[in-house]
Structure 1
Amino acid sequence: PDITHVEKALRSLELLVVQDIFPTETTALAHVVLPGVSFAEKDGTFTSTDRRVQRVRKAIEPIGESRPDWQIICDLARAMGASGFDYSSPAQIFDEIASLVPIYGGISYERIAQEGIQWPCRTKDDPSTVFLHKDTFAKGLGTFKAIEYKAPAELPDKDYPFILITGRDGFHYHTGSMTRRSVSLTKQLNHCYVEVNPADARQYRIKKGDLIRLISRRGAIEVKARITDVVSRGSVFVPFHFAEAAANVLTNPAVDPVVKIPEYKVCAVRIEKVS
């Protein structure tokens, strides 16, 4: 949640090795970059969020010096003296997974050659489990627990009177390392913005397209304004896809005391119109 802290920590490392398919802000800090391959350049499987294990097949040979992830990991492991990394194919690795993970036990490349299988599939005779909890939960009835409300670690005050909300824009994904390379997607959106409620915009004399500086206790970014009642008065929204105006420069590194989730969705900021 604190990108400034992360960058400082990475810069302090004696050796930073990064494996990726595109240059990113992190590869720019790396001493060694290991070029991985895209989905189109490798064989293997994907397991989707509906638990469906399905094959992915290489369409083209790896470009340049890029290599499949499993080959890079195996070579690194062997170079460091590890044993058990003498795999010859992704199929062999998957067979090992199936032998060790009971819910994958009945899945093999042969069984998913034409159509995927949804886990759990414990034996070679098990069918695909389309509905995980069709009649009842595995543990019986669901358990509901009441908890006391806990306020965010940082709330608006006179110095930082707005709540900053960060999130996704429909045209991009995460840091944009892939989607911002798409001509069709960047044609729709290729710059960061801040959504401001019309009442707040009138108070601060902000118009659509004005350059706005957002400031928190941790840093500042400059973005163009969008005026919309999608956000409530006293709140502003910024997408997190743009390294040149990184939302996580602003966000609070505080975490939930129980599950340790960072408070990405709420921190205090102030807004200034850039002259």
Structure 2
Amino acid sequence: MAGLATSFGSGAMTNSINEIPNAEVMFVIGSNTTEAHPVIGTKMRQALAKGAKLIVIDPRCIDLAEQADVWLRLRPGTDIALVNGIMHIILAKGWEDRKFIAERTEGFEKLKETVKKYTPEFTSQITGVPAEQLEEAARIYATAERAQIFYTLGITEHSCGTDNVLSLANLAMLTGHMGKESTGVNPLRGQNNVQGACDMGALPNVYSGYQQVSNPEVREKFEAAWGVPLDPNPGFMIPDMFDAAVNKQLRALYIMGEDPVMTDADANHVRKGLKALDFLVVQEIFLSETALLADVVLPGASFAEKTGTVTNTERRVQMVNQAIKPLGNAKPDGEIICELANRMGYPFPYASSAEVMEEIAQLTPQFAGISHQRLGTQGLQWPVPTADHPGTKFLHEGKFNRGKGLFVPCENQLPHEQPDGEYPLLLNTGRKLSHYNVFTQSSEGLIKNSPEELAELNPADAKQMGIGDGDVVKVASRRGELNTKVKVTDRVPAGMLFMTLHYAGSPTNVLTNGAYDKVTKTYEYKVCGVKVSKL
């Protein structure tokens, strides 16, 4: 979110999902859309059926790569160089939108100077992508009338993730592909309701609606509403929490709906931090790996057992209505939080989630016109500034949220850790269609369909190591090791091993690197060095 917020003034999808079938060009980078976001992947296939062009940028031969007009198989961690190279070509050919740049942006001359050295030949040396493919991708994207960029965790889960996003924003503004229907930059959110959680201030530096805790006027507004003084200093981000726990600067954690032992990088360090706490509370619907370490486990309710809202990747706030009463001792999460607050001496008088939404609307400009009653069955896309506003289908029409769009030039940066003589393979991680993150392990049907990890290994590497399809191997990094079965496939290039994060039996994040982006502190899940040995 930080990159787009810097460039545009808003860190969210600029367009709607139903605009995708009318796109003329789709530029998909760092997103295995048909597996990780299958509904959106279906919309992309509808666009292809109507004649849309497809550019795919991914080191793996994902399903969309097989349908692409151009597939750029870049070296992992070279996204900035690739995008700079494409912008160099666009400027050299005169394909930039000069009117858009002059009227709606600032900082262009600095960008122009930065990309000057990223010739097709220079870019090809860094990325491994042939110069002619770079030129074809630049032509298709820049000369289209309606072009959309799509990215997800393959862009953000790098130590330079924010700069990756800034580079994509630069590309869109350079070509004027912003502020129109079926035209923009669309981050596909990595988890259900992560957009809604961030919108509501589940970040250490903002209140709801991305209102900064450091802003005195904002703070005064919330202090008046809540009747307590508020700290002007941002809190810990996730990596900071575990470091602070190990150092005894953080003594307690309350974790809700999250399993960091499985999902956070360098999982052994995470486990060490959790064990160092004086007190750990986990609120969950399953007894997760993290919950097994807790002093207290609070039984939360599933989506079917509570009423409230979620906000999806296209900024659509939607109702979730209770279908059944909570089972056993479970309670809706909001009810648990209210009861805890009341017992700790601060009254939370909310009688329903509808009352919580009323407070959100009062304190959050983007949500001022939203109520449970208005959301109905279709929801509303923020911003919804007034009670009669219909919602916003696409963003930045006429002007950016920040006024003028800001070009922020970025230089190519190497991943924090790369393969070497001791750990010669590059580990890349992601998801598969048959599972979602880590909690689908509780689904008997999904486990039957896809019961175990199958690490993808290129045939050339497998032959050199004497490994066959289905063999069990040990995978080790500088941080940990695990056992897994192998699938020998040319979907991955030589020198790469691909694994998913889904399986507790092969917990991939004991391997991944705890390095993180300098702004968002998102872990670098996509690149680290590993070695493989046959068992």
TM-score range, shorter chain: over 0.9
Specify the code of the residue in structure 2 equivalent to 1:269.
V
Specify the code of the residue in structure 2 equivalent to 1:6.
V
Residue of 351, 364, 367 corresponding to 1:88: 351
Residue of 138, 147, 157 corresponding to 2:420: 157
TM-score with structure 2 length normalisation?
Answer: 0.49
Specify the code of the residue in structure 2 equivalent to 1:261.
T
How far residue 140 of structure 1 moved from its aligned partner, in angstroms, is 4.9
Which of structure 1's runs of 4+ aligned residues deviate more than 6 A? none
1:165-184 alignment runs, 5 A limit? 165-175=428-438, 177=439, 179-184=440-445
**Are positions 1:39 and 2:316 aligned together?**
no
How far residue 43 of structure 1 moved from its aligned partner, in angstroms, is 0.9
How has the CA–CA distance of structure 1 residues 113 and 174 changed in structure 2, closer, same or farther, with 3 Å as cutoff?
same
Residue of 300, 314, 317 corresponding to 1:53: 317
* Count of aligned pairs between the two proteins: 271
The residue number in structure 1 matching 2:343 is 79
Q: Please list every run of 5 or more consecutive structure 2 residues that lacks an aligned counterpart in the other structure.
A: 1-264
1:125-173 Cα distance to aligned partner (Å, 9 max, x none): 2122122234443345543332222211211111111111111111111
Residue of 393, 415, 429 corresponding to 1:130: 393
Tell me, in whole angstroms, the C-alpha distance in 2 between the residues paired with 1:108 and 1:243: 40
Task: Give the number of the structure whose residues are more often helix, by fraction.
Answer: 2
Tell me, in whole angstroms, the C-alpha distance in 2 between the residues paired with 1:237 and 1:16: 33
Deviates more, 1:181-190 or 1:56-65: 181-190
The residue number in structure 2 matching 1:226 is 487
Please state whether the residue corresponding to 1:96 is helix, strand or coil: helix
1:124-273 alignment runs, 5 A limit? 124-140=387-403, 142-175=405-438, 177=439, 179-273=440-534
How has the CA–CA distance of structure 1 residues 233 and 23 changed in structure 2, closer, same or farther, with 3 Å as cutoff?
same
Please state whether the residue corresponding to 1:45 is helix, strand or coil: strand
1:112-127 alignment runs, 5 A limit? 112-127=375-390
TM-score with structure 1 length normalisation?
Answer: 0.94
**Are positions 1:9 and 2:273 aligned together?**
yes
Specify the code of the residue in structure 2 equivalent to 1:198.
P
Q: Please list every run of 5 or more consecutive structure 1 residues that lacks an aligned counterpart in the other structure.
A: none
Deviates more, 1:114-123 or 1:228-237: 114-123
How far residue 73 of structure 1 moved from its aligned partner, in angstroms, is 0.3
Tell me, in whole angstroms, the C-alpha distance in 2 between the residues paired with 1:273 and 1:73: 49
The residue number in structure 2 matching 1:109 is 372
Residue of 288, 301, 308 corresponding to 1:24: 288
Please state whether the residue corresponding to 1:245 is helix, strand or coil: coil
Deviates more, 1:236-245 or 1:105-114: 105-114
Specify the code of the residue in structure 2 equivalent to 1:268.
G
How far residue 40 of structure 1 moved from its aligned partner, in angstroms, is 0.6
Tell me, in whole angstroms, the C-alpha distance in 1 between the residues paired with 2:283 and 2:422: 42
Specify the code of the residue in structure 2 equivalent to 1:165.
N
Specify the code of the residue in structure 2 equivalent to 1:233.
A
How has the CA–CA distance of structure 1 residues 257 and 103 changed in structure 2, closer, same or farther, with 3 Å as cutoff?
closer
Deviates more, 1:236-245 or 1:259-268: 259-268
Tell me, in whole angstroms, the C-alpha distance in 1 between the residues paired with 2:526 and 2:532: 17
Please state whether the residue corresponding to 2:372 is helix, strand or coil: coil
RMSD: 1.5
How far residue 193 of structure 1 moved from its aligned partner, in angstroms, is 1.9
Tell me, in whole angstroms, the C-alpha distance in 2 between the residues paired with 1:259 and 1:43: 31
